Amino acid sequence: MDRYDVVVVGAGAFGLGSAYHLARRGAGRIALVDSLPGPGQGNTGRSVGGFRKGLFTSELNRMLSESTVAFLADLQRSGVDLGMHSVGYLVLLNGPQLEANERAIRELVRRGNARLIDAGELKGLVPWMRLEFDGDEEAAILGLRNVEAALFSGQSGYLDVEKLVGYLHREVLDAGVEPRFNERVRRLRLGPVVSIGHPREPLAWQEKRVEALETDRGELRADVVVLATGAWINELLDPIGIDSHVKPKKRQVFSIEAKGGLRRFFEVEGFNGYSSLPMTFFPRGPYVVPRVRERVLWTGMSDDVGRPWGIDFSPEESFYLDNIYPTLSKVFPVLRDVRPTSMWAGCYSINTIDENPIAFRSMNLVVVTGGSGSGVMKFDAMSRVAASLALGEEEAVLYTGERLPVSWLGIRDRRAEPESFVF
Ligand SMILES: Cc1cc2nc3c(=O)[nH]c(=O)nc-3n(C[C@H](O)[C@H](O)[C@H](O)COP(=O)(O)OP(=O)(O)OC[C@H]3O[C@@H](n4cnc5c(N)ncnc54)[C@H](O)[C@@H]3O)c2cc1C
């Protein structure tokens, strides 16, 4: 049996980050456990790595993402290659969407975080993108309306998640964190804080703690356990009666080689220094990410009602053909008859209350999960919150110096106001 000050379960973005901050803050002997053979091989490694800078209206989202993106950008500037590409986020808006989001858009523009581009200017920048669908029956069936404008955030973009994982892994090893890969935690065993020697302890009236982590290689003990098992969180929490309010849901990414006419995605001037189309989003529809180094297009779309909850890592080409292709090929006719060359699926861990991440402490157990589709761009802030919870602090100090009450991320005193600009 091995004994630690802290055991972090899960070596994804949240677990690596938590171990990193705990080690930096001198939390003692720390183990980082993951059932997979290396770090970041769960959902972090399946991520698109997109980051939004200044494109959130909710205060909590703004703090979590902006401080994390500031950390990442400074790291990249200091010479650590994270593959960060600020190609920009371009959100295409039809008339009703423009109207429905008017206040949020005005605020984002007023703060200088984004620019509203009208259809005329957009046409001039990307003449091969189709913006008008009047009289097109198929487009009407798809619910595609004329694009009236686009919101452009030039400081947003994507990073290379593998590079981020590599960096964090090196940092935690240098800081003395002990990795334990290929080790699955099967069960969190509870025990009483003060034992009376009863054979069925802990009894309902006794104060409890996680006494041991039973793994497929033995048993671990720790003063504090940080559970960062993402979409798998309930496997260890349900048996001990703790609700994370998070459920897993499949999300898929399709990769298309940018050959022939598709090279145009990388011959667009006026948005960024890479001559690339920005990451382009259709609210509640598909998105496309031109990957500058690899010269491929990544595309995906979130489906909600109709897509079952559950862990599922099997990509379906039919999802691309039936759901993404029809809209994408209308707006980008160069994509007509083009099929993906590769695809993969991962699982969002979605907090079903407000879709923001969750972190709370119960006994000597800290839970950090619910990254949903923005866990990479919020990982540093969430990891600081997890470290603060583990150290018994009421506030986390973010990379930007802002102080964030950890209870805002919890369940009882949660302060996660709804995001008004969702796409
Ligand atoms: C397709 C897709 C696209 C995405 N795109 C973006 C994006 O563009 N931008 C963005 O910011 N975010 C994006 N995300 C979300 C982001 O990837 C996640 O929010 C983030 O990676 C979550 O990190 P995590 O550490 O919570 O989970 P994970 O990376 O899944 O880590 C959890 C780890 O726990 C381990 N584990 C689980 N159970 C056990 C156990 N019992 N014992 C031991 N180990 C265990 C797993 O093996 C895993 O490694 C995307 C996600 C997906 C799936």
Domain boundary among 324, 351, 378: 351
CA atoms of 27 and 224, how far apart (whole Å): 10
Does residue 228's CB lie within 6 angstroms of at least one atom of ligand 1?
Answer: yes
Percent of the chain topping pLDDT 90: 96
pLDDT at position 331 over 90: yes
Tokens of 189: 């065993």
Contact 311, 345 (CB under 8 A): no
- Pocket residue to mutate for ligand 1, from 32, 43, 66, most atoms within 8 A of Cβ: 43
**299 in any annotated domain:** yes
In a shared domain, residues 239 and 253? no
What is the domain extent for residue 388?
Answer: 2-48+162-245+353-409
In this prediction, residue 112 carries a pLDDT of 93
Ligand 1 site-directed mutation target among 376, 379, 380, 382, most atoms within 8 Å of CB: 376
- Amino acid, single-letter form, for residue 317: E
CA quadruple 80, 81, 83, 84: dihedral positive or negative? positive
Residue 293 lies in a domain: yes
Interval between CA 286 and ligand 1 midpoint (Å) = 21
Determine phi and psi for 37, rounding to 5 degrees.
-70, -15
Q: What is the pLDDT of residues 251-274, one digit of tens each?
A: 999 999 999 999 999 999 999 999
| Residue 69 counted as domain residue | no
Cα pseudo-dihedral 264, 265, 268, 271, rounded to 10: 180
What pLDDT is recorded for position 387?
98
In a domain, 133, yes or no: yes
Tens-digit pLDDT profile for residues 380-407: 999 999 999 999 999 999 999 999 999 9
145 and 211 in a single domain? The answer is no
Regarding whether 142 and 14 lie in a shared domain, the answer is: no
Domain match, 358 and 234 both: yes
Nearest Cα residue to 360 out of 400, 419, 415, 418:
415
How far is the centre of ligand 1, averaged over its atoms, from the C-alpha of 252 (Å)? 13
Q: Does any ligand 1 atom lie closer than 6 A to the CB of residue 383?
A: no
Q: How confident is the model at residue 1 (pLDDT cuts 50, 70, 90)?
A: confident
Q: Of 163, 161, 219, 159, which is closest to residue 189 (Cα–Cα)? A: 219
Q: State yes or no: pLDDT of 57 exceeds 90.
A: no
Angle in degrees, CA 360, 362, 368, rounded to 5: 30
Nearest to 327 by CA among 48, 151, 141: 141
Mind listing the pLDDT tens digit for each residue in 171-192? 999 999 999 999 999 999 999 9
- Residue 247 and residue 230: Cα distance in Å, rounded? 9
Which of ligand 1's atoms lies nearest the C-alpha of 36?
A: 47
The answer on 146 and 278 residing in a single domain is yes
Mean pLDDT of the chain: 97
Q: Examine the pLDDT at 309 and tell me if it is beyond 80.
A: yes
- In total, how many domains does the chain have? 2
Q: Is residue 395 part of a domain?
A: yes
Where a domain ends, among 308, 336, 351? 351
Does the beta carbon of 248 lie inside 6 Å of ligand 1? no
- Of all atoms in ligand 1, which is nearest to the CA of residue 229? 34
Q: Do residues 184 and 327 both lie within one domain?
A: no
Reply yes or no on whether the pLDDT at 423 is more than 90. Answer: no
Are residues 143 and 280 both part of a single domain? yes
In CATH, what number is assigned to the domain containing residue 305? 3.30.9.10
Q: At what angle do helices 379-390 and 59-77 cross, to 10 degrees?
A: 110
Cis peptide before 283 (omega within 30 of 0): no
Nearest CA to ligand 1 atom 18: 375
Atom number in ligand 1 closest to CA 236: 41
Q: Do residue 102 and residue 179 come from a single domain?
A: no
Distance between CA atoms of 393 and 123, rounded to whole angstroms?
52
Residue 200 CB neighbour total at 10 angstroms: 5
231: CA distance to ligand 1 center in Å? 7
| Residue 361 Cβ < 6 Å to ligand 1 | no
Mean pLDDT within 196-218: 98
Ligand 1 in contact with 44 (CB < 6 A)? yes
Per-residue pLDDT for 422 more than 80? no
Q: Is residue 81 part of a domain?
A: no
Q: With a 6 A CB cut-off, is 157 part of the ligand 1 pocket?
A: no
37 and 146 co-located in one domain? no
Is 166 exposed, middle or buried (CB count within 10 Å of its CB: 0-12, 13-18, 19+)? middle
6 and 130 in one domain? no
Same-domain check for residues 180 and 149: no
Give the CATH number for residue 175.
Answer: 3.50.50.60
CA 348 to ligand 1 center in whole angstroms:
7
Asked if residue 93 is part of any domain, the answer here is: yes
User: Which of 351, 370, 391 corresponds to the end of one domain?
Assistant: 351
Q: Does some domain include residue 80?
A: no
pLDDT score, position 31: 98
Give me the pLDDT at residue 421, please: 79
- Binding site membership of 388 for ligand 1 (Cβ less than 6 Å): no
pLDDT digits (tens, 9 = 90+) for 18-34: 999 999 999 999 999 99
- Between the CA of 332 and the centroid of ligand 1 the distance, in Å, is 31
Look at residue 6 and tell me whether its pLDDT is greater than 90: yes
Same domain, 328 and 255: yes
pLDDT at 417 over 90: no
Regarding the beta carbon of 324 and ligand 1, being less than 6 Å apart is answered no
